[in-house]
């Protein structure tokens, strides 16, 4: 008896390998996939401005990387730390000067990576965004400030498509060979209510599909559909019933690998997984001989992997 659909996404017209630079930006689900890519030794840069959820903030972040011009007016102090309305709360410092320098350094690093990346993966989380009334600008994070300072708005499909068509054109100017992958996070934003979460996801799905239809070198990957329509069961979610659990993340990862990776990289991934498991193994009993065998196995396999990676 089949317990889920086992959907096979359309194979990408290109292949990624362990030499392909992969830039990820967007929601916390992008972090999940980015971390797995890191574990498998792909050259990765993820979320230089921290986790971003809505298309407006993601577009702003990429635009600022292309043309660094961050304004100090977006900084705020909360407790003993300084934060930025254009960044996630993980981006902070003990002084304005330190934070401004940190942001500048991050933008420089991100721009250099973007210039040579093989692919840019953009993951939309929510179509709702918050606009700061006084600053008259979209914020990436409200940083626990009073709700009276913001208005909550919904992106339109038309505006998302228009903004990203222009953005992709600008990115192509600095990296003509880059490929784009758009995806929608399967994370449910239950605080918005079920109706608004459905409205938000449908907006993002339409926008992502239209962006990929209108722009070449664009590929849509169905992360949302794999969890919501293929697996389609709350046993694949964490206890909060909003975030996919590790089983679901691993399933999406397997489908991602099938869609984008070369056969050589898929085989190398299996070796790296074997190595990671061996490194994490802790023997139940003290057995010096077995420990020495494991150490030799890990060292030999690590050397073999390094050779295949070109290191």
Average of pLDDT values for 270-282? 87
pLDDT for 293 = 81
pLDDT for 70 = 80
Q: How far apart are CA 128 and CA 20, in angstroms?
A: 32
Which has the higher per-residue pLDDT, 2 or 243? 243
pLDDT single digits (tens) 227-249:
999 999 999 999 999 999 999 99
Q: Is 283 domain-assigned?
A: no
Range of the domain at 84: 22-263
pLDDT single digits (tens) 24-66:
999 988 899 999 999 999 999 999 999 999 999 999 999 999 9
pLDDT for 160 = 98
Q: Is 306 domain-assigned?
A: no
For residue 71, what are the CA distances in angstroms to 80, 82, 100?
Answer: 21, 14, 9
Q: Domain total for the chain?
A: 1
Average of pLDDT values for 110-127? 98
Q: Is 34 domain-assigned?
A: yes
The domain that holds 257 is classified in CATH as: 3.40.50.1110
Q: Kindly tell me if the per-residue pLDDT of 191 is higher than 70.
A: yes
pLDDT band at 169 (very low <50, low <70, confident <90, very high): very high
Q: Is 270 domain-assigned?
A: no
Q: How far apart are CA 178 and CA 22, in angstroms?
A: 10
Q: How far apart are CA 221 and CA 226, in angstroms?
A: 9
- Asked if residue 196 lies in contact with residue 128, where contact means CB atoms within 8 angstroms, the answer is yes
pLDDT single digits (tens) 121-147:
999 999 999 999 999 999 999 999 999
Q: Is 282 domain-assigned?
A: no
pLDDT for 145 = 95
pLDDT single digits (tens) 289-304:
777 888 888 888 889 9
pLDDT for 1 = 67
Closest to 171 (Cα-Cα) out of 65, 26, 87: 65
Work out the percent of the chain whose per-residue pLDDT is above 90. Answer: 82
Q: Is 76 domain-assigned?
A: yes
Q: Which single residue is written with the structure tokens 């890191």?
A: 38
Q: Is 85 domain-assigned?
A: yes
Q: How far apart are CA 119 and CA 100, in angstroms?
A: 28
Q: What is the mean pLDDT of the chain?
A: 94
pLDDT for 271 = 93
pTM of the model: 0.94
Closest to 140 (Cα-Cα) out of 194, 77, 61: 61
| DSSP calls for the chain | --SS----PPPPSS-B-TT--EEEEESHHHHHHHHHHHHTT--EEE-TT----SHHHHHHHHHHHHS----GGGEEEETTEEEETTS-TTS-BSSHHHHHHHHHHHHHHHHHHHHH-SEEEEEE--SEEEEETTTTEEES--TT--GGGEEEEE--HHHHHHHHHHHHHHHHHH-TT-EEEEEE-----GGG-HHHHHHHHHHHHHHHHHHHHHSTTEEE--HHHIIIIII-SGGGB-TTSSSB-HHHHHHHHHHHHHHHB-HHHHHHHHHHHHHHHHHH---SS--HHHHHHHHHHHHHHHHHHHHHHT-
pLDDT single digits (tens) 59-73:
999 999 999 878 888
pLDDT for 284 = 65
Closest to 309 (Cα-Cα) out of 114, 45, 116, 43: 43
């Amino acid at each position: 008896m089949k317990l889920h659909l086992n959907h096979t996404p359309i194979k990408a017209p290109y292949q990624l390998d362990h030499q392909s630079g992969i830039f990820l930006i967007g929601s916390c689900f992008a972090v999940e996939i980015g971390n797995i890519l890191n574990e498998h030794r792909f050259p990765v840069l993820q979320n230089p401005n921290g986790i971003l959820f809505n298309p407006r903030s993601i577009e702003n972040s990429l635009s600022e990387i292309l043309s660094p011009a961050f304004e100090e007016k977006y900084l705020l102090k909360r407790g003993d730390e300084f934060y930025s309305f254009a960044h996630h709360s993980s981006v902070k410092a003990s002084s304005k000067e330190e934070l401004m320098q940190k942001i500048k350094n991050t933008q420089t690093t991100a721009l250099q990576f973007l210039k040579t990346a093989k692919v840019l993966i953009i993951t939309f989380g929510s179509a709702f965004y918050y606009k700061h009334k006084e600053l008259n600008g979209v914020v990436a994070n409200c940083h626990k400030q009073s709700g009276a300072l913001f208005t909550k708005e919904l992106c339109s499909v038309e505006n998302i498509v228009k903004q990203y068509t222009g953005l992709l054109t600008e990115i192509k100017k600095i990296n003509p060979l880059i490929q784009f992958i758009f995806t929608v996070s399967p994370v449910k934003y239950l605080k918005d209510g079920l109706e608004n979460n459905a409205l938000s996801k449908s907006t993002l799905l339409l926008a992502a599909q239209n962006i990929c239809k209108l722009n070449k070198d664009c590929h849509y990957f169905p992360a949302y559909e794999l969890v919501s329509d293929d697996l389609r069961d709350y046993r694949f979610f964490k206890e909060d019933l909003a975030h996919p659990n590790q089983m679901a993340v691993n399933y999406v990862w397997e489908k991602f690998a099938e869609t984008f990776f070369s056969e050589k990289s898929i085989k190398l991934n299996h070796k790296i997984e074997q190595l990671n498991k061996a490194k994490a193994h802790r023997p139940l009993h003290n057995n010096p001989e077995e420990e020495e065998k494991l150490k030799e196995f890990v060292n030999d396999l690590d050397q073999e992997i390094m050779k295949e990676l070109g290191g």
